[in-house]
Structure 1
């Protein structure tokens, strides 16, 4: 039975308090497993206004109705409103996810700060940011995290080295290259190890292999614009041929306005024969396999602005 790993990024204060509990209820309804990755420090979502100078930003905002999905208040955090400390004020929401039987891991300390700056920062800054998130996770859950998923699929060599120091055995920090329609450009893409600064890392990477809803909504394929009414069918066409996949969703989107679409996907993926699992389940299946080693690489994806960690072709 092919595995479809569900990886949930909780980026914001609102997403953690509202979207996460909604997703727990929905996943439990369909007996689906998943991994929740938490932002553990402050919510500076309002700082995203600086992205207006990045190519593709306006197109993405207009397509995905950012204000509708994230809320005006969230977009003011760090600008006109104080940035709430997610880990300090939402610890009980995170613990409830664990108590419901779901795997929990680290997304980042401050999503906005990490996504905007990590690629240009050095070892000390990177180590400090990661240590804060790992310490906060341990404080909330009473144990160290087992897994990690980078905010915005952004990392640097020091961050990968830090995962090794933390003893993280598996993570989902990058993407697999996709064609314009969201199909995998390289059918061999999947679990791999990274080679960074000449060293092959022990941590197994489980890259996201499917497009996200916000990357597809509002775009046209074959003259047909993808809307909430037809986007599920488009994604299901991508999973019609059985193979292991990782799907990234967001507490702010699938946990709120886009929940009906996600429910359609859950129902249909089960009908397609997928086992809906968490990252830890996928890791257990592949950890003893001979996995390819690929160099650290960056690339852009259709529907998303800026470069991100991308699985390179193995040599």
Structure 2
């Protein structure tokens, strides 16, 4: 049976407080499993306004209604309002997801700080950020995390080495290369091990293979603009041929206003014969396989501003 790995990035205080409980309820109702990846430090979403100077930023914001989905209060955290400490103020929501049977892991310590800085930072800075998240996770759950998924698909070689030091056997920090219509450049793209120079990292990468909702909304594909009313059918068209996929959701989107789209996707994937599983379940299925090795690669993806870490398996 083909599988859809559901990976949920929880970026903000609001996403943790409101989106996570909604997603837990929806997923349980549809007997779907998933992995929740939490931001564990302060919510400095307001600092992301500095990205306004990046090429493509305004185009993405205008397509995806950031203000509508994140709310004005979230966009002021760290600028006009104090930044709430997610890992202190949302402990119950995180533990409730775990009690409901969902795998939990680390997304980051500070989402904006990580996404905007990690590519050019060194070992000490990287280790400090990751250790803070690792220790906070242990405080909340009473056990070390088993998995990780990088904020904004941004990492550096020191971060991958740190995952190995933490003993994390699998993570999802990269993207498979996509065409403008959201389909895979290489349909065979799947789990792999990452290399940088002469070093091959131990942690297996489970790359996101499907476009996210915010990457597709407002985009024109074959003469038709993707809207909230037809986006589920677009994604289901990409999964019509049975193949294992990793789909990244956001608690701020599918866990709130775009929840009806998630429900449509879950129903559609069930009809297509897919089983929705967690990252841990996926890794258990492939851990004995000999996986390909691909180098650390950066590239731009349709619907996103700036470069991301990608699997460009040609």
Relative to the length of structure 2, the TM-score reads 0.99
SS state at 2:68 partner = helix
Aligned to 1:50: 50
Distance 1:100 1:196 in 2: 38
Deviation at 1:290, TM superposition (A): 1.0
Distance 1:305 1:159 in 2: 22
2:102 matches 1:102: yes
Aligned to 1:9: 9
Aligned to 2:188: 188
Deviation at 1:201, TM superposition (A): 1.1
Deviation at 1:79, TM superposition (A): 0.4
**Once superposed, which parts of structure 1, at least 4 consecutive aligned residues long, lie more than 2 Å away?**
none
C-alpha distance after superposition, 1:1-23 (max 9, x if no partner) = 00100000000000000000000
SS state at 1:246 partner = strand
Aligned to 2:131: 131
Tell me if structure 2 keeps the 8 A contact 1:299–1:307: yes
Distance 2:6 2:43 in 1: 23
C-alpha distance after superposition, 1:197-230 (max 9, x if no partner) = 3111111000000000000001111111111100
Distance 1:44 1:117 in 2: 14
Aligned to 2:278: 278
2:215 matches 1:215: yes
Write out aligned runs for 1:113-192 (5 A).
113-192=113-192
Tell me if structure 2 keeps the 8 A contact 1:157–1:197: no
Write out aligned runs for 1:178-257 (5 A).
178-257=178-257
SS state at 2:73 partner = helix
Aligned-residue CA RMSD in angstroms? 0.6
Aligned to 2:59: 59
Please, which moves more after superposition, 192-201 or 14-23? Answer: 192-201
Aligned to 2:304: 304
Distance 2:172 2:301 in 1: 17
Please list every run of 5 or more consecutive structure 2 residues that lacks an aligned counterpart in the other structure. Answer: none
Deviation at 1:313, TM superposition (A): 1.8
Distance 1:197 1:107 in 2: 26
Deviation at 1:120, TM superposition (A): 0.7
Aligned to 1:70: 70
Distance 1:201 1:59 in 2: 36
C-alpha distance after superposition, 1:270-297 (max 9, x if no partner) = 1000010000010001111111000000
How many residue pairs get aligned? The number is: 314
Please list every run of 5 or more consecutive structure 1 residues that lacks an aligned counterpart in the other structure. Answer: none
C-alpha distance after superposition, 1:31-88 (max 9, x if no partner) = 1000000000000000011001111100010000000000000000000000000001
Tell me if structure 2 keeps the 8 A contact 1:296–1:312: no
Distance 1:68 1:187 in 2: 34
SS state at 1:147 partner = coil
Distance 2:29 2:188 in 1: 33
Relative to the length of structure 1, the TM-score reads 0.99
Distance 2:192 2:119 in 1: 21
Distance 2:196 2:21 in 1: 37
SS state at 1:256 partner = coil
Tell me if structure 2 keeps the 8 A contact 1:170–1:283: yes
